[in-house]
A and B are shown apart, each in its own frame.
Chain A
């Protein structure tokens, strides 16, 4: 029966080309816009590290003085160097890393290449294992390298190719900040989206090109970058990046395999801050946070409000397109009142009329979905040309492809229900008489 109805639907399309084209176009436009914005939304709200996002926790505490203290406020977004280093030293998690953004001046060995400045990440040994970074050559450095302030570096694949060409650069020397570093590893392409480990300088920017031990970066006084919040004048030769500076500017992540370990770690943090308060370093009451990746992304409201607004707009647009399709389907089915009347008079049940109309509506949806997918591809192409950090990530994937067709067919069936209902109410007698 379905095949027969499908065949009838195609015949009916041929009879009413303009009207059918209008319906297909309306569904296609609505679906195209919705799928485009949904794809962007999905890319931006996705899990950047799905295999272990529930085992990685962002650590925060409230180390400032009582000045400007408001009870109930969130803890500071970043950590002081003192606390980050203390937690790293005590190493109570399965893995842990402190980190900060920085920049280094690179002096290439090759002839004709002028020195240039690179974005860097200063971190500690567990960073690579914790975030499952893919390696093309070599590996990360060891904990001992952190302690000995070793001159070692991991670089990105792009940087390796720029500086060393196609050869494996591990073991080779790279001059940065007037110091020779030994390249121990080359990352393969790695771009977690959002860049969850440090979102203070943009949520969707690319990962850094060079990674150095944090201890080494302080030893060499390499320039740091990113947000810094100080509540008192830093003293000491290193200023605001000094070991005791009253400034928050570091990110701290800990890996905890089980919820039980997370609970233990939470207690450990509370214990740590109580001790700091007892020692007179902290003034505020305990306000520690141990936030898993996805909760942290949500708290930071990573998805830009423009993108959320676009999703709303697209669905509003889809609603108008659907209303339009309902009207056109209604017109189309009512116009066929005579034909339906004859079929009813010949014994077709209301149910079969209803089914026939729905199949026709669904077929419109199928065609609309196909065209809508092309429009969505076009829309995503337009998004990729937009001036946003995330633009190049907006691509169709198999899931969204399925979603497109499911949405188009569901939408057209929904639009078809009312007209089909009206069509099956056609009374055979009246229609036959008016013929």
Chain B
């Protein structure tokens, strides 16, 4: 197809052509960045916690007032929970994935060190935590019973010490890049060291506290947590039993004493907590999808409008070309090529704009750089859109009869 006549026609409609080009460029820039933002959200939503979420439920008990006998009662609770049919294991932890509570403490490598090496999220729980959450122990061993102290009493006495600690892989990698974490001592709580006895493959923080990169930087510390400072975690044998187990668990806890409160809203599956935790990210992703669709529709409508106007304006010219022997297909292709040219210029400018926009987002929202492969996606989308939008007006142009040439416009 000869490009010269198209270019010379376009040069006589500079303003309209420029408008289409700009509209496509701006759409391209926004669509590329919006796609990238959606991908970021989806990646976030898919982050694993390390726990076997399908098999875990949680339930909380509170007392009417401070309970001097909390630890003993907690142990009875746990025994009652484990006795429920369909329950594989149970434990209590000060925090859990997707929970509100987040315990953090600083880690020092030596007793004399001033300032911290890093800050880690603390899962304080007994030796059943790894099994209950379904964590994968990749090195070392689990806590032994005698390493697990009475956390409630340690706190009231003002002397908290954990002889052992299990690290998440991410924490181990950051503290011991050489991979020799096992057996080393760390200063986490108090002035005595805690010895690293094991490493789990992955254990995410309860929530996004701190930078995104630190999401997996947590440790497990051995302590019997009183029921008033934590939440029970229960592992079910079969995910389909989760609701039944939750109901039984609430009954079991209430049966332990007349002075207990078991909040039905706090009795949840870990899966529903994950769902709730990422609700806003999902909503944002859908909003971005809506923006992309609306943008493409508006851009397409703009192309349809201007192209129709063009066709109408040039109907006499088209008639003359038809009278001189141009086929319908040639007229159709003429307008399609014209749109392709405009779209290409628009896309080229759009890519530069996309990068400029990404730069702005990187500065303001600490987003990563836009990967290159988003550009061809945006380009193909807008080329297709242009061709679809121009097809209607172009077809109408092709239907102009040669006789129009003889009429006075």
- A, B from the same assembly: yes
Contacts of B299 in A (CB 8 A): 320, 324
Decide if B156 touches A327 in the complex (CB within 8 Å).
no
How many chain B residues have a CB neighbour from A under 8 Å?
Answer: 59
Decide if A233 is an interface residue (CB 8 Å cutoff).
yes
Most chain A CB neighbours (cut-off 10 Å) among B37, B263, B298 = B298
Beyond A68-B116, A327-B19, is A177–B294 a contact (Cβ under 8 Å)? no
CB proximity of B121 to chain A, nearest CB, Å? 14
Q: Pull 27 A–B residue pairs with CB atoms less than 8 Å apart, ordered by A.
A: A19-B309, A22-B301, A22-B302, A22-B305, A26-B301, A26-B302, A29-B294, A29-B298, A67-B114, A68-B116, A105-B65, A233-B158, A234-B158, A309-B37, A309-B361, A317-B295, A320-B295, A323-B19, A324-B299, A326-B19, A327-B302, A330-B19, A330-B306, A331-B306, A331-B309, A334-B309, A335-B309
- The minimal Cβ–Cβ distance linking B248 to chain A, given in whole angstroms, is 18
Q: Is the CB of A320 within 8 A of B65?
A: no
Most A C-beta atoms less than 10 A away, residue of B65, B106, B365: B65
Q: Does B314 contact A (CB under 8 A)?
A: no
A331 with B16: in contact, given A68-B115, A387-B279 (CB under 8 Å)? yes
Query: Could you tell me if B302 and A328 are in contact, using CB atoms closer than 8 angstroms?
Result: yes
Q: Is B291 an interface residue (CB 8 A)?
A: yes
A219 to chain B, nearest CB (A): 12
Query: Which residues of chain A are near B313, meaning CB under 8 Å?
Result: 334-335
B26 at the interface (CB under 8 A from A): yes
> Known contacts A328-B306, A434-B409; can you find 16 more A-B pairs with CB under 8 A?
A29-B298, A67-B114, A105-B261, A114-B261, A221-B66, A233-B190, A237-B156, A309-B37, A309-B361, A313-B34, A317-B294, A323-B22, A327-B19, A327-B20, A331-B306, A335-B313
Question: Once the chains are docked, how many angstroms separate the CA of A434 from the CA of B317?
Answer: 14
Shortest distance between the CB of A175 and any CB in chain B (Å): 9
User: Which residues from B are CB-within-8-Å of A313?
Assistant: 30, 34, 288, 291
- B244: Cβ under 8 A from any A Cβ: no
Q: Does B280 contact A (CB under 8 A)?
A: yes
Instruction: Check B20 against A116 for contact (C-beta < 8 Å).
Output: no
A328 smallest CB distance to B (angstroms): 5
CB of B276 to closest CB in A, whole Å? 7
Interface centre among A235, A305, A313, A332, by most chain B C-beta atoms within 10 angstroms, is: A313
> Which positions 326-351 of chain A face chain B at CB distance < 8 Å?
326-328, 330-332, 334-335
Shortest Cβ gap from A408 to chain B (Å): 15
Which residue from chain B places its CB closest to the CB of A70 in the assembled complex? B115
Establish whether residues A68 and B106, one from each chain, have CB atoms under 8 Å apart when the complex forms.
yes
Interface centre among A66, A234, A240, A309 (most CB of B within 10 A): A309
Cβ contact within 8 Å between A107 and B64: yes
Q: How far is the CA of A115 from the CA of B254 in the complex (A)?
A: 12
In the complex, chain B residues whose CB is within 8 Å of the CB of A327: 16, 19-20, 23, 302, 305-306
Q: How far is the CA of A326 from the CA of B332 in the complex (A)?
A: 26
Least distance between A284 CB and chain B CB atoms (Å): 13
Tell me whether B72 is interfacial, beta carbon within 8 Å: no
Query: Do residues A324 and B64 form an inter-chain contact, with CB atoms below 8 A?
Result: no
Cβ of B25 to closest chain A Cβ, rounded Å: 9
Cβ of A316: which chain B residues have Cβ within 8 Å of it?
26, 29-30, 357
- CB neighbours (8 Å) of A221 from chain B are 66
Judge whether B261 and A317 touch: CB under 8 Å.
no
Tell whether A189 is near chain B: CB-to-CB under 8 Å.
no
Q: How far is the CB of B378 from chain A (nearest CB, A)?
A: 14
Question: Which residues B36-74 have CB closer than 8 A to chain A?
Answer: 37, 62-66
- Bound together, the chains give a CA A324 to CA B62 distance in angstroms of 60
Using known A-B contacts A68-B115, A316-B26, A320-B27, determine if residue A330 contacts B312 with beta carbons closer than 8 Å. no
Alpha-carbon gap, A29 to B104, bound state (A): 46
| A172 in contact (CB, < 8 A) | no
Q: Which of B228-284 contact A (CB under 8 A)?
A: 228, 261, 263, 276, 279-280, 283-284
Name B residues whose Cβ lies closer than 8 Å to a Cβ of A.
15-16, 19-20, 22-23, 26-27, 29-30, 34, 37, 62-66, 106, 114-116, 155-156, 158-160, 189-191, 228, 261, 263, 276, 279-280, 283-284, 287-288, 291, 294-295, 298-299, 301-302, 304-306, 308-310, 312-313, 357, 361, 364-365, 409
Tell me if A133 is interfacial: C-beta within 8 Å of chain B: no
B residues near A335, Cβ cutoff 8 Å? 309, 312-313
A19-62 residues with Cβ-Cβ distance < 8 A to B are 19, 22, 25-26, 29-30, 33
Please give, as numbers and ranges, the residues of chain B lying within 8 Å of A107 by CB-CB distance: 64
Residues of B within 8 A of A332 (CB): 309
With A321-B298, A328-B306: A115-B261 Cβ-Cβ less than 8 Å:
yes
Check A235–B158 contact: CB distance below 8 A: yes
Cβ 8 A contact of A233, one of B160, B294, B302, B310: B160
Contact, CB under 8 Å: A116 / B261 = yes
- A246-289 contacts to B, CB under 8 A, are none
Chain A residue at minimal CB-CB distance from B228: A223
Cβ-neighbour of A323 out of B23, B29, B156 (below 8 A): B23
In the bound complex, CA of A107 to CA of B62 (Å): 13
* Residues of A contacting B160 in the complex (Cβ-Cβ under 8 angstroms): 233
Q: Which of A66, A178, A331 counts the most B-chain CB atoms under 10 A from its CB?
A: A331
Q: List the A side residues contacting B158 at CB < 8 Å.
A: 233-236, 239
The 10 closest A-B pairs by CB, nearest first: A331-B309, A387-B279, A324-B302, A68-B115, A178-B65, A235-B158, A327-B19, A323-B23, A105-B64, A328-B305
Cβ of A406 under 8 Å from chain B: no
Contact residues in A for B64 (Cβ distance below 8 Å)? 105, 107, 115, 177-178
Question: Would A239 and B155 be within 8 Å (CB), given that A19-B305, A68-B116 are in contact?
Answer: yes
Complex-state Cα separation, A418 to B22, whole angstroms: 15
Q: How far is the CA of A306 from the CA of B365 in the complex (A)?
A: 9
Is A319's CB under 8 angstroms from B26's CB? yes
Cross-interface CB contact of B291 among A68, A69, A103, A317, cutoff 8 Å: A317
A25 close to B22 (CB less than 8 A): no
- Residues of A contacting B298 in the complex (Cβ-Cβ under 8 angstroms): 26, 29-30, 317, 320-321, 324
* Chain B residue at minimum C-beta to C-beta distance from A230: B105
Q: Which residues of A contact B16 (CB under 8 A)?
A: 327, 330-331
- In the complex, which residue of chain B has the Cβ closest to the Cβ of A221? B66
Question: How near does chain A come to B251, taking the closest CB pair, in angstroms?
Answer: 13
Chain A residues with Cβ under 8 A from B34's Cβ?
313
* 8 A Cβ contacts from A208-244 to B: 220-221, 223, 233-237, 239-240
- Shortest Cβ distance from residue A258 to the other chain B in the assembled complex, whole angstroms: 37
| Assembled-state Cα–Cα distance A223/B19 (Å) | 64
Task: For A320, give its contact among B30, B283, B310 (CB under 8 Å).
Answer: B30
Q: What residues of B have a CB within 8 angstroms of the CB of A220 in the complex? A: 65
**Is the Cβ of B23 less than 8 Å from the Cβ of A324?**
yes
Chain B residues with Cβ below 8 Å from A103 are: 62
Give chain B nearest CB distance to A392 CB in angstroms.
Answer: 14
Chain A residues in 8 Å Cβ range of B22: 323
**Bound complex: CA of A319 vs CA of B291, how far in Å?**
13
Report the minimum CB–CB distance from A192 to chain B (whole Å): 21
Which of B15, B115, B263, B310 lies in contact with A117, CB distance below 8 A?
B263
